[in-house]
Structure 1
């Protein structure tokens, strides 16, 4: 396991001076929104956050990762009560959250994605749930798409040899509703009940600041994807059991600030390799890496076969991903 070092006392110095701040000093929760070229989505996120949170005393910090679409200026104009940090550099999701959390003074922290919309009472319910379940350490809620259909990606179970095998050979894709063949996605569970999970996704992740500091925040080698999985797995090794409540529901688009599809797949694969290296026993790591290689090989081969029917899009995408296999099989550097 790779354990992140506690945030440096100088970490806050990396953040530019906030452009605006006007929240009550007695806030008990700091809500951190890291944005990157999501101007309209970020505005909608903040609008629903303030409109639909009634009982929680909170302070909001938006860290803009050098957006070029006017995100920072729009937040400053429409939400002067928000503490805005307009960075000249893209620090990535993990480091930007660490920078903001290092300066927070509230008892609780909430990571909230900019491509979300907060449903009525969601934040209030999540904070109440976190307080009532201190053994969880990290809590999250239920996410839906704009049409109200379930978005399962609010939580996951950890990668295991069995789940990695199922994903590699296509069983997970073929039987997504099966808890046996899709253990990471927990089969057909609709996220409609309170449940212990291994991983709470960073789109809506609540944690007591004391635990965040004890864990050292995010491991900064995870530039994008996997950082919250690593955080939750490290919390579990300290005896905590993350949990989900359906009473905290938000809309989440997923991947609104991501770039090309192939690049995203490479980054996700890279993070999975890193999680295997960091959280599997040393003797099992070669198996995990081999299963990741098999995952890529199966897909590039299938794409080649599909191309015989005239559909060349998948072939080109997977050729690109396969050509970069040395990159993603190496994972993120420690």
Structure 2
């Protein structure tokens, strides 16, 4: 892995944009291109950390953007640890974590920086995300998992009533992300944070190898009195999950991350209840989908196989990420 200088020379930059890439060469190039094309009022540096991609990402980025800082890792360090490595060597007042599968729209970064200056109490800021067709992607922010949200999720009611703020509180109900609002969690695909707060929090917890690291960061900031916010004035396109296809391995990591958030942020007396609800959630879906294991319908059969694997590996994800 290329080594960073002791401290990056940030010149007059106010912001460092950090992109962690992994096997998304075309999208990563587009993410960098749109970042520079649509940011006009903010002086920023961009650092791309390539997590041992096998699709020629590092070479293509170096050829297309020779002036940006590129670190080509010889091994996949995961999203959390890679961000920590880059951030440790940057001195700008703000960091912006930007996914490689995003496209920055006009003025998005400028608007986000302006919003941060007017809302310093937030500490962490995010914007509005849309899909490639322009439709709303609600996954720019979430509410923290709760006993209520896990209870309704375990029973399948959050799937039946996805837009109910009471039954599905983690999605904030019908709110279309068209107004500034305080949120529990700003998603790491487009997350702005003050460097001083990042350093106080010691960045991401490395145990969150993939998924959950942004939730943990925001919840730790909230525990200190900060109130993360998002603004609709800063909008990006997010091609969700391009570097992590939907498969059983991803699902296990997501479940592990959720269990770790319960362990790390719930009162001790609630943790056992959370574990039980996660167990019930997977048990019911395993039972419901099991009859489709031999189905001729590919999607039904795939769902059955997925939940069968998740159920068989429940001990793995119910323990959460390692505490080390």
TM range (shorter): over 0.9
Distance 2:168 2:195 in 1: 33
Structure 2 counterpart of 1:83: 69
Structure 1 counterpart of 2:127: 141
Structure 1 counterpart of 2:268: 282
User: How many pairs are equivalent?
Assistant: 318
Distance 1:333 1:31 in 2: 29
In structure 2, which of residues 313, 319, 322 is the aligned counterpart of residue 324 of structure 1? 313
Q: Which digits, 9 at most, give the CA deviation of each residue in 1:247-286, with x for residues without a partner?
A: 0000001111114511111110100000000000001100
Distance 2:245 2:209 in 1: 14
Structure 1 counterpart of 2:223: 237
Structural mapping, 1:265-276, within 5 Å: 265-276=251-262
TM-score under structure 1 normalisation?
A: 0.93
Q: Once the 2 structures are TM-superposed, how far is the Cα of residue 24 of structure 1 from its aligned partner?
A: 6.3
Distance 2:161 2:261 in 1: 24
Structure 2 counterpart of 1:221: 207
Which consecutive unaligned segments of at least 5 residues does structure 1 have?
1-14
Q: Once the 2 structures are TM-superposed, how far is the Cα of residue 131 of structure 1 from its aligned partner?
A: 1.1
Q: Once the 2 structures are TM-superposed, how far is the Cα of residue 316 of structure 1 from its aligned partner?
A: 1.1
Structure 2 counterpart of 1:5: none
Distance 1:106 1:24 in 2: 7
Q: Once the 2 structures are TM-superposed, how far is the Cα of residue 310 of structure 1 from its aligned partner?
A: 4.1
Determine if contact 2:4/2:89 at 8 Å carries over to the other structure.
no
Determine if contact 1:158/1:198 at 8 Å carries over to the other structure.
yes
Distance 1:302 1:59 in 2: 50
Q: Which digits, 9 at most, give the CA deviation of each residue in 1:166-212, with x for residues without a partner?
A: 11111111111111111001111111110000000000000000000
Distance 1:264 1:307 in 2: 20
Distance 1:39 1:213 in 2: 30
What secondary structure is seen at the aligned counterpart in 2 of 1:95?
Answer: helix
What secondary structure is seen at the aligned counterpart in 2 of 1:247?
Answer: strand
Distance 1:194 1:208 in 2: 19
Determine if contact 1:194/1:243 at 8 Å carries over to the other structure.
yes
Runs of 4 or more, structure 1, over 3 Å off, are 305-311
TM-score under structure 2 normalisation?
A: 0.95
Distance 1:193 1:237 in 2: 24
Q: Alpha carbon RMSD of aligned pairs, Å?
A: 1.5
What secondary structure is seen at the aligned counterpart in 2 of 1:117?
Answer: strand
1:299 and 2:285 matched: yes
Structural mapping, 1:82-161, within 5 Å: 82-161=68-147
Determine if contact 1:23/1:60 at 8 Å carries over to the other structure.
no
1:29 and 2:15 matched: yes
What secondary structure is seen at the aligned counterpart in 2 of 1:130?
Answer: helix
Which consecutive unaligned segments of at least 5 residues does structure 2 have?
none
Q: Once the 2 structures are TM-superposed, how far is the Cα of residue 17 of structure 1 from its aligned partner?
A: 2.8
